[in-house]
Structure 1
Amino acid sequence: MQNNRITKLFNIKYPLIQAGMIWASGWKLASAASNAGALGIIGAGSMYPDVLREHIQKCKKATDKPFAVNVPMLYPDIEKIMEIIIEEDVEIVFTSAGNPKTWTKHLQDHNIKVVHVVSSVKFGLKAEAAGVDAVVAEGFEAGGHNGRDETTTLTLIPMITKELKIPVIAAGGIANGDAMLATMILGAEAVQVGTRFVASHEASSHINFKNEVVKAKEGDTQLTLKELAPVRLLKNKFFNDVQELYQQTPTKEELIKLLGRARAKKGMFEGDLEEGELEIGQISGLISDILPAADIVKNIISELEEAKKRVAQL
């Protein structure tokens, strides 16, 4: 596959990135994705600092390929997390949910490449001005926490690549090679894939959750809780409880009370399909099996090559 700015920046074989998702992206998934030629990411958002250190060390033993750590900057122990990332010589960091100015220069001063996740052109320009090496432009089809504007991936990518000079990685609603090619035609230089990797053997998420992802059909997810932090969820009892509360025009405090603590862990990691928060993307409706991460990478790249041939015949 032809090199581009992203494959050169990360020193990876394919312009394909496995997203750093909470309760799913531990060292097993990250190392498997990296060994297959993608860029694997450890999701630090659901890890205490000492747990993250353990995952980084295990990932290094499991792969000699580059891998990254994703850090949501709302993390309460953010200073300790960044300290561990520097101490353990992590080469690439994806930041999200915060101001990219806060940590970008500090990380780059330690020879760490920094990518920031954005959901709009405005935030993309801010990230570029902060000096990040690349951005992930994520459409609202994506699972988990999301942009308030509900801008779709196929709308966001051409608008953001038109304005930014740094490389753009497309995310949201991408689970196969056809979607990968579509976003790259629109100007992205790589894709970040989350939902498809949740339905992998190596994902640390609970098998109950993985099975729900496989069973999901079109329309089974919805963006909600915008007053707190917009999140795309599978519809279950907890989701229905949220919708019922909305009928009463709740205050922000009432929504926080219903959400409670560790709701995402309960659903995605512990497998409580009734009371848990099940964060997943719209593209789950296209996924019908749980596969090894290496097969997912292989399939996406194979589909990409086939899609290129079809486009060449148009």
Structure 2
Amino acid sequence: MTNKITRLYNIQYPVIQGGMVWTSGWKLASAVSNTGGLGLIGAGSMYPDLLREHIQKCKKATDKPFGVNVPLIYPHVNEIMKVILEEDVKIVFTSAGNPSTWTSKLKENGIKVTHVVSSVKFALKAQSAGVDAIVAEGFEAGGHNGREETTTFVLIPMVKEKITIPLIAAGGIATGKAMLAAMILGADGVQMGSRFVASEEASSHIKFKQKVVEAGEGDTKLTLKELTPVRLLKNPFFNEIQELTGKPHTVEDLQNLLGKGRARSGMMEGNLETGELEIGQISGLITDIKPVSQIINEIITEFTIAKQSLPGI
């Protein structure tokens, strides 16, 4: 399977694994890359020294391309970027910030840059900043999300119409059929996060993985929009947020409730009661925890069969 995305990243399949906090370590990234996709190390939950360790271990675990996802709101972003440059990482995905801040510097060092957006407006800004590709992420996605609440299959054709660089669809995609649908609408590839949370190689806690596969329709909701919008599995902590936002409150009240370490507590340490459990709506369709190789092979097989059943596509 060869197209703009496989050529851009020198990968076999146009499947990118989301660089999720507390989930996307070197084991997951290398497994995805070894199976033909593009694995991403999630720097958002790592201090610079830990990121360096994960990059070095990933290099030992795979000879295939991999990248690092960097939320630009990260407090140590300068040190993170220094590690990326020193370790000669060739692919960087940026998110949650202004792509103009780092794109030129990264590209001067031979790094391919992709930026994650949730609207046409920010897609155009990212293209103007000189990024090599764009991830357009719809409202269905887990973790940090857009305030516009535009769904993936509305967002993709809208962005496709306005940009000229490669486009990757994200949000609510975990199957080969969904991958085909996104590409019919104009995407050149897909990024999947939640499906890889429920993989054996993900660094997330087994209790969180099990909670993901047990989730059903309506078990996630976008919240904390006054701070940074995030889609969470419903649990006692989520209920506390709903109770607070249902009455007069300030942003400071929300910040105090959130505190520190909620995502680590929930997703990596398995605290299902008071931890923050970030996951996408597609969790309602994920029913098992599998090795990455099996996940990707099933996705590509389903994609191929579905495509063959649609003449002319």
TM-score (norm 2): 0.99
- What corresponds to 1:243 in structure 2? 242
Instruction: Give me the CA root mean square deviation.
Output: 0.9
**Partner letter of residue 147 of structure 1?**
G
- What corresponds to 1:228 in structure 2? 227
**Partner letter of residue 135 of structure 1?**
I
SS of equivalent residue, structure 2 residue 92: strand
Matches within 5 A, 1:37-186: 37-186=36-185
CA deviation after TM superposition for structure 1 residue 310, in Å: 2.2
1:300 aligns with 2:299: yes
SS of equivalent residue, structure 1 residue 214: helix
- What corresponds to 1:190 in structure 2? 189
Identical-residue share of aligned pairs (%)? 68
SS of equivalent residue, structure 1 residue 208: helix
- What corresponds to 2:265 in structure 1? 266
**Partner letter of residue 45 of structure 1?**
G
**Partner letter of residue 45 of structure 2?**
S
Q: Deviations over 1:108-138 (max 9, x none)?
A: 0000000000000000000000000000000
Q: Measure, in 1, the Cα distance between the counterparts of 2:86 and 2:207.
A: 36
Q: Measure, in 2, the Cα distance between the counterparts of 1:242 and 1:312.
A: 49
**Partner letter of residue 179 of structure 2?**
M
Q: 1:313 to 1:10 in 2, by over 3 A?
A: closer
SS of equivalent residue, structure 2 residue 231: strand
- What corresponds to 1:252 in structure 2? 251
Q: Measure, in 1, the Cα distance between the counterparts of 2:181 and 2:168.
A: 12
Q: 1:313 to 1:110 in 2, by over 3 A?
A: closer
Q: Measure, in 1, the Cα distance between the counterparts of 2:258 and 2:279.
A: 17
CA deviation after TM superposition for structure 1 residue 50, in Å: 0.2
CA deviation after TM superposition for structure 1 residue 313, in Å: 8.8
Q: Measure, in 1, the Cα distance between the counterparts of 2:182 and 2:4.
A: 15
Q: Which runs of 5+ in 1 are unaligned?
A: none
Q: Which runs of 5+ in 2 are unaligned?
A: none
- What corresponds to 1:213 in structure 2? 212
Q: Measure, in 2, the Cα distance between the counterparts of 1:313 and 1:125.
A: 31
CA deviation after TM superposition for structure 1 residue 306, in Å: 1.1
1:21 aligns with 2:20: yes
Q: Measure, in 1, the Cα distance between the counterparts of 2:3 and 2:56.
A: 29
Q: Measure, in 2, the Cα distance between the counterparts of 1:113 and 1:7.
A: 13
